[in-house]
Amino acid sequence: MTTRDNLSEHLEEGIDVKSLPQTFQDAIEIARGLNVRYLWIDALCIIQNEDDHEDWKRECGNMASIYRNSHVTVAAAWANSANDGCFTSPDPGVVIGPLMMRNVSHLPLFATPKNSEDFPILTRAWTYQERLLAPRVIYFSHQEILWDCLERRTYHRRRQS
């Protein structure tokens, strides 16, 4: 997280990836895997813990543009905190089993998955604009990966044994 106290250090020395919460580390790996060169994470790009919220107020005006112009938004749909990560297994190299891919274009634009306990992110008000404005969102949950974009909604679901 970026604060006034560590802002200079972050800008001058960078941030050690290993020091970041697991969800941020996973998002970096996902971005690398998609060949996305730049990653915007609000807790790193907006100064946190300010009494006057000056930076947040300034950056809040840019949020619509950030999401609308993003390549893809990565959502750790099942995570309750930044420490939980995007993946069911903490090791993204672990194979979680065969995946089935299905097109589900018949879903309404803002449909929610049946297993809403796998998607607590959708219950948080501040994520609504991400979902509304981002051209593409990849949701990672316990059981599935959901690709949501303006043209198609597709998901990979673990086969139940």
Asked if 92 and 27 touch (Cβ cutoff 8 Å), the reply is no
Q: Which pLDDT does position 109 carry in this prediction?
A: 42
Residue closest to 30 by CA, chosen among 19, 46, 41: 41
Look up the pTM and report it: 0.74
Residue-wise pLDDT for 108-136, tens only, equals: 444 445 555 556 666 666 677 777 788 88
Query: What residues does each domain of the chain span?
Result: 7-158
Mean pLDDT of 8-22: 93
Q: Which pairing describes strands 153-158 and 99-103: parallel, antiparallel, or unpaired?
A: antiparallel
Which pLDDT score, from 0 to 100, does residue 29 have? 92
